[in-house]
């Protein structure tokens, strides 16, 4: 049976080089080496260097490997917030980070919008005493992206707050200026096209200082406390026996992306998103969930369907194309289509043709 | 170049079937499927069922998949302890769990022994008010095992305390009666011979109740809070986008172990440990670190070396045998040799021959 092509918004299609890297990993016994060996430290160091080069992350920022972006939500709150956090809530994932803050009994303030829309980003709405502002760059559940210029305005208006950016399904396609944020994170099974089981956390020196200050007053966790993450990362090590294979594959795929060129990847993303948006505009059975054109994500396109979306998904699956369903209460009412760096222009053109011909 | 055989005490040699399972995983696109799909739920359910069958875990116990055994240390303290924990400390890993309790500002009491020895296990030494008793079944840093009968005596003497057993490098070789403990956990890169990046947590109904009681009084974490783990596990799901490949491989290797038979695996472990112990007894350049014969681990053998152990390790590495070094301050002074289920009797006999001939 020919392989399916996954257009699901994560886990999604593997980056097209992953299978070869995995075979090489078996030959090199990557899965058997000690996680504190020079060999494993090499993978860590290469992955960090490549990510910094790929996304132009300031040299003085630290990069850590955790188990998932979900874990980073928790670690941010533990390490960086004593009392007051602020959250833009406009989808399942931004809401969940807010829920984590409430579960930690923090004074969590939210600015909300209905699914498919963006909250009011006027910085004057953010209370003065906020320690951390949580911003989701790309709401994977709705396909709404948060404008970068609005992040920079918030930074100017609230220079003392730490800005924490959820880059899941956005990095490395998003051109975020990392020097204007303090915490940014993603999981590798979206745009990087890797097997699930690894989260990446980028942290500014200012955020590390905030964690050290908080430590003097209370508890900031154990092995994932920021000072411990920093201590280990200086040795190119994780704080626990991490997914060494995942870090190895990330070091390889980030290298492949550097060789392709981030500008090419971003240009292609623009083309593929335009193709999908045009298809939805023109399709009689689909309509855009995100009404405001400028807010539509370049990597996750969400469309309302006439009739049950499951029927569309099933039809496409029979032809070897796996689409995402609507998230949560939109299940059965929407399709979600990922256009990640591994999805070629040709694959996307083919998908559009098949969608036009099938439904 | 022929492949090396890893006798390191974790990460270690892959279980001998893993490469084939990994190739099948690529063919079946296991790394691309949604972690909440029926396919992924199937891997979760199979892995749980196999682990229960393999280790005779009571049906009413829950099994969860986290990122590592290190994470389980933290989650146990968050979920199960309000104030008072007790720790048998006799090596790097048992000490580290105690350190986690101190970092959480708990009233953590320890019963200590020098590395290579066992603490006094007389239950009368455990204060009456202890909520959780931490026991390390197999101190991977020293090769000391904790007698099962002593665990059962502690259980009888302190029936109200939760007993938490660190089974890293012990399960499934250890014959622990799970019905007499409340929490037990391991990471898969030891005896299960899997790539690092997955922790397994076995929890009794009583422990779940303790977490629910604690939740009513305070914070027990977010996505890894026990009630949330239970809620997701009932659907055969993890609480985050976990290492699906790891769970898939665990479902396959646990099946392979069931087919081989746990009795055979345990009998072979006894044979291999006896072989190693005899070799150390007889070898002019080695001596047992664990003086008390009955405390010697069946899966991790630790020997003091005359002269620098690194020279021995280097000599063996040139012949394709990778041994573990001494842990921490014993680095350069000891070798550590894993005899896990994937290590065949023949491989172990060969290793003994090579060690006898080389040093």
Tens-digit pLDDT profile for residues A117-139: 999 999 999 999 999 999 999 99
Q: How far is A246 from chain B (nearest CA, A)?
A: 9
B302 with B271, same domain: the answer is: yes
Helix (H, G, I), strand (E, B), or coil: what is residue B266? helix
| Chain A residue with Cα closest to B240 | A70
Contacts of B6 in chain A (CB under 8 A): 29, 32-33
Q: How many domains does chain B have?
A: 2
Nearby residues of A216 by Cβ (< 8 Å), 6 or more positions away: none
Contacts of A187 in chain B (CB under 8 A): 241
Range of B67's domain?
A: 18-259
Q: Which of B185, B128, B188 is nearest to B161 (CA)?
A: B128
B198 with B277, same domain: the answer is: no
| Chain B residue with Cα closest to A224 | B71
B247 with B106, same domain: the answer is: yes
Contacts of A12 in chain B (CB under 8 A): 32
- pLDDT value at position A323? 98
Task: Say whether pLDDT at A342 is over 80.
Answer: yes
Q: Which of A190, A185, A98, A193 is nearest to A140 (CA)?
A: A190
Q: Are the Cβ atoms of A245 and B31 closer than 8 angstroms?
A: no
B120 with B190, same domain: the answer is: yes
CATH number at residue B289: 3.90.1150.10
Tens-digit pLDDT profile for residues B27-43: 999 999 999 999 999 99
- pLDDT value at position A2? 84
Helix (H, G, I), strand (E, B), or coil: what is residue A62? strand
The residue-averaged pLDDT of A247-251 equals: 98
Q: Are the Cβ atoms of A244 and B197 closer than 8 angstroms?
A: yes
- Describe chain A by its helix, strand, coil percentages, rounded to 5: 45, 15, 40
Tens-digit pLDDT profile for residues A269-295: 999 999 999 999 999 999 999 999 999
A168 with A52, same domain: the answer is: yes
Q: Are the Cβ atoms of A18 and B33 closer than 8 angstroms?
A: no
Which of A34, A222, A225 is the closest to B8 by Cβ? A34
Determine the Cα–Cα distance for residues B275 and B270; give it in Å rounded to an integer.
Answer: 9
Q: Which of B12, B22, B189 is nearest to A22 (CA)?
A: B22
Last residue of a domain, one of B224, B259, B294: B259
Determine the Cα–Cα distance for residues B166 and B146; give it in Å rounded to an integer.
Answer: 10
Task: Say whether pLDDT at B346 is over 80.
Answer: yes
Contacts of B3 in chain A (CB under 8 A): 29
Joined tokens for residue B322? 């990778």
pLDDT band at A234 (very low <50, low <70, confident <90, very high): very high
Orientation angle between helical segments A345-358 and A309-318, nearest 10 degrees: 120
Does the bond joining B172 to the residue before it have cis omega, within 30 degrees of 0? yes
**Alpha-carbon Rg for chain B in angstroms:** 20
Which of B68, B103, B240 is the closest to A70 by Cβ? B240
Q: How far is A25 from chain B (nearest CA, A)?
A: 11
- pLDDT value at position B154? 98
A290 with A222, same domain: the answer is: no
Interface A:B, Cβ pairs < 8 A = 156
- pLDDT value at position A359? 87
Tell how far CA A314 is from the center of its chain: 27
A97 with A188, same domain: the answer is: yes
Does the bond joining B231 to the residue before it have cis omega, within 30 degrees of 0? no
Tens-digit pLDDT profile for residues A86-125: 999 999 999 999 999 999 999 999 999 999 999 999 999 9
The residue-averaged pLDDT of B303-330 equals: 97
ipTM of this model?
0.97
Q: Are the Cβ atoms of A222 and B103 closer than 8 angstroms?
A: yes
Residue pair B143/B290 in contact by the 8 Å Cβ criterion: yes
Place of tokens 């990778």: B322
| Chain A residue with Cα closest to B325 | A34
Q: Show contacts of B40-47: CB within 8 Å, 24+ apart.
A: B40/B237, B40/B244, B40/B247, B41/B235, B41/B236, B41/B237, B42/B236, B43/B244, B43/B247, B43/B248, B43/B251, B44/B233, B44/B236, B44/B237, B44/B238, B44/B247, B44/B251, B45/B236, B46/B251, B46/B255, B47/B247, B47/B250, B47/B251, B47/B254
Tens-digit pLDDT profile for residues B222-240: 999 999 999 999 999 999 9
Q: Which of B86, B81, B113 is nearest to B98 (CA)?
A: B86
The residues facing B6 across adjacent strands are B322
| Chain A residue with Cα closest to B106 | A219
Query: Could you tell me where the beta strands, DSSP code E, fall in chain A?
Result: 5-6, 62-66, 84-89, 107-112, 132-136, 138-139, 144-145, 162-166, 183-187, 199-203, 286-288, 300-305, 321-322, 324-325, 334-338
Which of A18, A31, A240 is the closest to B68 by Cβ? A240
Q: How far is B239 from chain A (nearest CA, A)?
A: 9
- pLDDT value at position B2? 84
The pTM assigned to this predicted structure is 0.98
- pLDDT value at position B302? 98
Q: What is the percentage of chain A residues whose pLDDT exceeds 70?
A: 100
A48 with A141, same domain: the answer is: yes
Tens-digit pLDDT profile for residues A28-55: 999 999 999 999 999 999 999 999 999 9
Task: Say whether pLDDT at A241 is over 80.
Answer: yes
The residue-averaged pLDDT of A207-212 equals: 98
A196 with A314, same domain: the answer is: no
CATH number at residue B255: 3.40.640.10
Q: Are the Cβ atoms of A241 and B13 closer than 8 angstroms?
A: no
| Chain B residue with Cα closest to A216 | B103
Last residue of a domain, one of B211, B241, B259: B259
B217 with B238, same domain: the answer is: yes
B135 with B210, same domain: the answer is: yes
Place of tokens 């968050």: B78
The residue-averaged pLDDT of A253-260 equals: 98
Determine the Cα–Cα distance for residues A199 and A261; give it in Å rounded to an integer.
Answer: 23
Residue pair B13/B337 in contact by the 8 Å Cβ criterion: no
Last residue of a domain, one of B206, B234, B259: B259
| Residue to substitute from A33, A68, A73, A241, interface B, most B β-carbons within 10 A | A241
Tens-digit pLDDT profile for residues B128-163: 999 999 999 999 999 999 999 999 999 999 999 999
Contacts of A241 in chain B (CB under 8 A): 10-11, 68-70, 187, 189, 196-197
Contacts of A325 in chain B (CB under 8 A): none
| Chain A residue with Cα closest to B19 | A26
Other Cβ atoms less than 10 A from the Cβ of A77: the count is 23
Contacts of A44 in chain B (CB under 8 A): none
A179 with A314, same domain: the answer is: no
The residue-averaged pLDDT of B258-286 equals: 98
Which of B35, B104, B189 is the closest to A222 by Cβ? B104
Place of tokens 């070629």: A344
- pLDDT value at position A7? 98
> DSSP states of A294-329 as a string?
GGB-SSEEEEEESS-HHHHHHHHHHTTEEPEEPPGG
């Amino acid at each position: 049976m020919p392989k399916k092509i996954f257009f699901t918004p994560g886990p999604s299609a593997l980056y097209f080089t992953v299978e070869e890297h995995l075979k090489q990993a078996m030959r090199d016994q990557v899965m058997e080496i000690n996680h504190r060996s020079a060999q494993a430290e090499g993978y860590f160091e290469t992955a960090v260097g490549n990510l910094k080069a790929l996304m132009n992350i300031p040299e003085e920022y630290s990069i850590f490997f955790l188990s998932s972006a979900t874990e980073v939500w928790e670690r941010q709150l533990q390490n960086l917030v004593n009392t007051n956090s602020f959250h833009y809530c406009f989808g399942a994932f931004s809401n969940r980070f807010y829920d984590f803050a409430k579960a930690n009994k923090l004074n969590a303030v939210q600015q909300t919008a209905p699914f498919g829309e963006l909250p009011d980003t006027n910085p004057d709405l953010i209370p003065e005493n906020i320690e951390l502002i949580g911003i989701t760059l790309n709401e994977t559940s709705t396909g709404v992206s948060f404008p970068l210029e609005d992040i920079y305005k918030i930074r100017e208006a609230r220079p003392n707050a730490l800005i924490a950016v959820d880059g899941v399904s956005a990095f490395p396609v998003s051109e975020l200026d990392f020097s204007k944020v303090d915490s940014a994170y993603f999981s590798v099974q979206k745009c990087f096209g890797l097997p699930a089981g690894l989260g990446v956390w980028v942290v500014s020196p200012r955020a590390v200082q905030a964690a050290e200050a908080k430590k003097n007053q209370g508890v900031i966790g154990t092995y994932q406390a920021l000072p411990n993450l920093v201590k280990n990362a200086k040795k190119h090590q994780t704080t626990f026996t991490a997914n060494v294979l995942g870090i190895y594959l990330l070091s390889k795929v980030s290298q492949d992306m550097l060789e392709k060129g981030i500008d090419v990847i971003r240009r292609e993303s623009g083309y593929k998103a335009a193709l999908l948006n045009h298809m939805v505009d023109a399709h009689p059975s689909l309509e855009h969930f995100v009404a405001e054109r400028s807010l539509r994500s370049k990597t996750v396109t969400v469309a309302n369907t006439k009739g049950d979306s499951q029927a569309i998904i099933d039809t496409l699956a029979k032809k070897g194309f796996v689409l995402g369903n609507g998230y949560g209460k939109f299940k059965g009412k929407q399709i979600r289509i990922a256009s990640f760096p591994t999805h070629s222009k040709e694959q996307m053109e083919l998908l559009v043709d098949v969608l036009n011909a099938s439904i």
